[in-house]
Structure 1
Amino acid sequence: MPIIKKGLNEPNIQFAIWEITESENELFDALGSSIKDDEPLAEIKVESRRLESLAARCALQELLKPYGDFEIYKDQFGKPHLRDESIGLSISHAKGFAAAAINLDGDIGIDIEHERDQVVKIAHKFIHSTEREWVAQDIHRLTQVWSAKEALYKLHGRTKLAFAEQLITKNLDRELGEGKIIEKKEGVSLYKLYQPNETPLVTVIAY
């Protein structure tokens, strides 16, 4: 059963978190035919990954119900899009959960994460110098930053972004904060970041 929530004061932005309790057949039945996807799920060999991918599409279907039927395709970088380019989308999944987000006015990124000790070991790969004092060795704060940067990465939709140098976050102590991505050496682009107090942690980022 999905949990549907909306971004704060953002009627154009919606996201859904789906806790996976169904079997694969039940998720197939729930998905129906309103969303066509060019990625054959049968090619995903690991059952848990298939379940998560199905649940993410079910969450997306819940969000898109008011707007009709849609077809999904992936670009050269693997970012999913709707053939109807007026709506931006993003999906994510973590063990036992899936998430989807749509933006009626532009691009969007979503990420869902469980807190894990491993995030401390890889912190040097994604923490910017301005973030070090705030995150310290705190697993929750490190997960907040990692999730925000994953969501920014998905929104941006291209490869070879340096997480530690090009993706910078701030104000993550607040429920509604802001993230920013540096697209070029002399320029900064600001994005809205939403991290509700959920378990697992979910991050939604849009223009």
Structure 2
Amino acid sequence: MPIIQEQPISPQVSICIWKIDETEEALLAFLELNETEFADFDRVKVASKRLEWLAARNALKQLLNPFGQFWLEKDQFGKPHLTDPCIGVSMSHANGFGAAAINHQGPIGIDIEIERPQIQRISRKFLNENETWAGTDTSKLTQVWGGKEALYKLHGRTQLIFADQLVIEEPSLKHITSGQIIEQNKTETFSLYFDYQSPLHICCAF
């Protein structure tokens, strides 16, 4: 079971990162998907993405094992929820890894990213004027992007403009910062956890 990280990041929030070295059949065997979940999985046609989908789901299962069997359903916006809504859940995957996070006291979003030089070219499309701390540094820009993806997943309701409605504060040495979701006349602030486990940038919003 290739879990490279499983840890609580607050009394209510835990994350799990899964590195894929199994076959699709082996990853499926760890799960007990119901008919709806299997239909969702079967819509994924690219082999590498199928493995990542399963890895993220197995990471979530690892976190939820102490609480018994679970099943997921999606709301009208496509955000996954447990059939028992007491625990907030989120998943992500990238380049041979899957990730999951749970929150016992509210919504949550997780994102994992691998650094790419192209992010410097597209940064003007997602940077807010208050995020000058990122400059042109690829690592910091990846943190901003990952933080905004995590906030977007936490929000999970309507479309958000990354440059205007999502703002990431500079992470501290303790890996915790904050992020804002701005909608009309309302601004909500959430905690953001950042970590780097080569080659992954990990961000969790809660």
Q: Same fold (TM over 0.5)?
A: yes
1:32-43 equivalence runs, <5 A: 33=32, 36=34, 38-39=36-37, 40=39, 41-43=41-43
Equivalence for 1:164: 163
Could you tell me which amino acid in structure 2 is paired with residue 75 of structure 1?
D
How far off its partner does 1:197 sit? 2.8
Distance 1:192 1:126, change over 3 A: same
Give a deviation string over 1:111-136, Cα, whole Å, max 9, x none. Answer: 0000001111211111000112x111
- The code of the aligned residue for 2:201 comes to L
Mapping of residues 1-207 of structure 1, within 5 Å? 1-8=2-9, 10-31=10-31, 33=32, 36=34, 38-39=36-37, 40=39, 41-132=41-132, 134-199=133-198, 200-206=200-206
Provide the secondary structure at the position in 1 that maps to 2:153: helix
Query: How far, CA to CA, are the matches of 1:68 and 1:108 in structure 2?
Result: 20
Inter-partner Cα distance in structure 2 for 1:91 and 1:111: 7
Check conservation: 2:151, 2:181, Cα contact below 8 A. Answer: no
Unpaired runs of at least 5, structure 1: none
| 1:36 CA drift (Å) | 3.7
Cα distance in 2 for residues equivalent to 1:182 and 1:57: 27
Instruction: Return the offset for 1:107.
Output: 0.6
CA-CA distance at 1:194 after TM superposition: 0.6
**2:60 partner amino acid:** L
1:34-78 per-residue CA deviation (whole Å, 9 max, x = no partner) reads x54724212211000100000111000000000011110111211
Residue 182 of structure 1 deviates from its aligned partner by 3.1
Quick one: distance in 1 between partners of 2:155 and 2:204?
A: 13
Deviation, 1:174, is 2.9
- Separation in structure 2 between the aligned mates of residue 105 and residue 3 of structure 1, nearest angstrom: 25
CA RMSD of aligned residues (A): 1.5
Q: What are the ranges of 5 or more consecutive residues in structure 2 without an aligned counterpart?
A: none
> Residue by residue, what CA displacement relative to the aligned partner does 1:17-43 show, whole Å, maximum 9, x if unpaired?
000011111111122x2x547242122
Could you tell me how far apart the structure 1 residues matched to 2:34 and 2:67 are? 14
| Closer/same/farther in 2, CA of residues 37 and 69 from structure 1, 3 Å limit | farther
Change (3 A) 1:37 1:78: farther
